[in-house]
Amino acid sequence: MAGETTDSTTLQTEAEVEQEVTPWTVQAGKRGIDYNRLIEQFGSQRIDPALLKRIEQVTKQSPHRFLRREIFFSHRDMQLVLDNYEGGKPFYLYTGRGPSSEAMHLGHLIPFIFTKHLQDVFDVPLVIQMTDDEKFLWKDLALDEAYRLAYENAKDIIACGFDVKKTFIFSDLDFMSSEPQFYRNVLKVRKCVTFNQVKSIFGLTESDSTGKIAFPAVQAVPSFSNTFPQIFGDRADIFCLIPCAIDQDPYFRMTRDVAPRLGYLKPALVHSTFFPGLQGPKGKMSASDPNSSIFLSDTSEQIKTKIQKHAFSGGRDNLEEHRKHGGDTDLDVSYQYLTFFLDDDAKLAQIKEDYESGRMLTGELKQVLIQVLQELVVQHQERRKSVTDEMVRQFMTPRPLNFDAARK
């Protein structure tokens, strides 16, 4: 590339080869995930100070800590969402969960925490897709087990505090077999997308099953309001906003390409970074590695042990060096976790200053995180205990939601 030295070009090429982000694989480069390169690669926009100010003006409250700290850092058409909302036009939220394990981990909470915030501040309906069909196709799971996990995971999602009057959670296996409009929209999308496009967007190959090739349309169609006639009737003009991790963006790049050809609106998106595993910042947590994750089912003692033994430290090799040079908060997993879950900006800033100056030791930083996460997980577990099977059925029954159709 013109104007670059051979060394920088070589480093860039190495990073490009090493970094891989798809809906199923997150492989970081040597320096972790390069989110600036992802924005360039995916063609999204960074959430800048001007957009944060606009969000604050529209919602009349300070942006969520995930926005303030650039955890949700990228978007597509968020300005249009705000324009429509200010103009009196309704919109709805759509997010989802792939149920591949009995218990969700902390990383799985991130989109739901933020989605609940958006539902509360904008007072809008929400649909949550449980892609049990996807997990059957990609994982070594029996179909009945994937279906069961969808209902188990729904309990953790409900425990986040969503309003049943404004929230519909659905299993693909249930809803696509009972709602004709869902399957009609799936077929419309499939007819518009070629095999070569699916291979290119999702990295699939000729050896992948036809189920994998056909699946992306299933994740696309909840972006279209008429997929949910119980909520929106036959209206296809209700705008959709999708909070998700950026690895899910390929689904919705495809969707945004197809939507105008079907006479539908393009969905808007707001993307989060990945929640790092305990061993370091080069990817995201994995439900398959119990020592990389804090699970919502972990005991307080398990949380303490995992953080003390496995949380990657940005501290120095010995006490003298740490006191002299301080720790690296960009690498320290305990500090990174606090950016997600410690709401107090002033306290977080003080921790950063103390750790980077060497006044705070790694063990002390870990103790702060242990207390924060123990409290968060215990509170979540208490809420989950109160989620009954009847509550799950209420959330997962197709029905009208509180929706102000007069906003037009």
In this structure, are 242 and 319 located in the same domain?
Answer: no
pLDDT, mean of residues 4-23: 49
Q: Does a structural domain hold residue 393?
A: no
Report CA dihedral (376, 379, 381, 386) to the nearest 10 degrees.
-150
* Least confident among 76-90, 220-234, 281-295, 378-392: 281-295
Instruction: Provide CB contacts within 8 A for 164, sequence distance 6+.
Output: 391, 394, 395
pLDDT above 70 for 288:
no
For residues 241 and 269, what is the distance between their CA atoms, to the nearest angstrom?
5
Same domain, 295 and 251: no
Residue 6 confidence (pLDDT) above 60: no
Strand order of the β-sheet with 239-245 is 45-46, 72-76, 268-272, 239-245, 91-97, 126-130, 167-171
CATH number of the domain where residue 74 is located: 3.40.50.620
Residue ending a domain, choose from 278, 313, 347: 278
The stretch 288-316 carries a mean pLDDT of 91
Asked whether residue 129 is assigned to any structural domain, the reply reads yes
Confidence band for 39, pLDDT divided at 50, 70 and 90: very high
Residue 31 burial (CB count, 10 A): 13
Higher-pLDDT residue of 281 and 134 is: 134
β strands within 23-155, DSSP E: 26-27, 45-46, 72-76, 91-97, 126-130
Instruction: Give me the CATH number covering residue 359.
Output: 1.10.240.10
Is the pLDDT reported for residue 17 higher than 90? no
**pLDDT-based confidence at 345, cuts 50/70/90?**
very high
CA distance 306 to 92: 38
Give the pLDDT score at 271: 98
Choosing from 278, 313, 337, the residue where a domain stops is: 278
Q: Nearest CA to 255 among 204, 172, 192?
A: 192
Longest Cα pair distance anywhere in the chain, in angstroms? Answer: 68
Residue 406: its pLDDT value, please?
52
Mean pLDDT rounded to a whole number for the chain: 91
Determine the pLDDT at residue 1. Answer: 37
One domain for residues 213 and 328: no
Reduced to 3 states (helix: H, G, I; strand: E, B; else coil), residue 76 is strand
Q: Are 236 and 224 in contact, with CB atoms under 8 Å apart?
A: yes
- Which of 69-73, 201-205, 307-311 comes out lowest in average pLDDT? 201-205
DSSP string, 156-198: HHHTT---TTSEEEEEHHHHHHH-HHHHHHHHHHHHHS-HHHH
- What integer pLDDT is reported at residue 369 of this predicted model? 98
- Could you tell me if 170 and 127 are in contact, meaning their C-beta atoms sit under 8 angstroms apart? yes
Q: Which of 303, 373, 299, 365 has its CA nearest to residue 334?
A: 365
Same structural domain for residues 27 and 148? yes
Looking at the structure, tell me whether residues 160 and 301 fall in a common domain: no
**pLDDT band for position 23 (cuts 50, 70, 90):** confident
**What pLDDT is recorded for position 30?**
64
**Same domain, yes or no, for 333 and 369?**
yes
At 405 the pLDDT is 61
More confident residue, 31 or 226: 226
Q: Are residues 32 and 99 in the same domain?
A: yes
Q: What is the pLDDT of residue 32?
A: 76
Q: Which pair of structure tokens corresponds to residue 401?
A: 């939601």
Is 17 a member of any domain?
Answer: no
Domain identity same for 178 and 300: no
Q: Name the one residue in this structure whose structure tokens are 């959430």.
A: 47
Is residue 79 a part of any domain in this protein?
Answer: yes
Residues 240 and 307 in one domain: no
CA distance 408 to 405: 7
Tens digit of each residue's pLDDT (9 = 90 or more) over 171-185 = 999 999 999 999 999
pLDDT given at position 284: 53
Residue 18 has pLDDT above 80, yes or no: no
Give pLDDT, residue 2: 32
As a whole number, mean pLDDT of residues 316-329 equals 92
What is the C-alpha to C-alpha distance for residues 315 and 360, in angstroms, rounded to an integer?
A: 10
Q: Which residue has the higher pLDDT, 303 or 12?
A: 303
Cα distances from 31 to residues 71, 74, 96, 331, in angstroms, run 18, 20, 29, 10
Residue 11: what pLDDT? 36
Distance, in Å, from the CA atom of 75 to the CA atom of 55, rounded to the nearest integer, reads 13
Long-range contacts, stretch 210-218, CB < 8 angstroms, 24+ apart = 211/137, 212/137, 212/138, 214/190, 215/133, 215/134, 215/137, 216/189, 216/251, 216/254, 217/186, 217/187, 217/189, 217/190, 217/193, 218/131, 218/133, 218/134, 218/172, 218/176, 218/186
Judge whether 43 and 68 are in contact, CB under 8 Å: no
Structural domain includes residue 97: yes
Same domain (yes/no): 182, 132:
yes
Tell whether pTM > 0.75: yes
Q: Taking residues 74-97, what's their average pLDDT?
A: 96
6 compared with 302, residue with greater pLDDT: 302
250 and 296 assigned to the same domain: no
On the question of pLDDT at 373 being above 50, the answer is yes
**Domain assignment present for 1:** no
Confidence (pLDDT) at 285: 56
Residue owning tokens 């909470």: 109
Q: Is residue 211 part of a domain?
A: yes
Determine the Cα–Cα distance for residues 240 and 309; give it in Å rounded to an integer.
Answer: 42
Q: Which domain holds residue 71?
A: 23-278
Give the pLDDT confidence score for residue 33 in this predicted structure: 85
Residue 390 forms part of a structural domain: no
Residue pair 169/401 in contact (Cβ under 8 Å)? The answer is no
Highest mean pLDDT among 96-105, 370-379, 396-405: 370-379
Query: In the chain, how many domains are there?
Result: 2
Last residue of a domain, one of 228, 243, 278: 278
Domain identity same for 296 and 232: no
* C-beta of residue 126 within 8 angstroms of C-beta of residue 162: yes
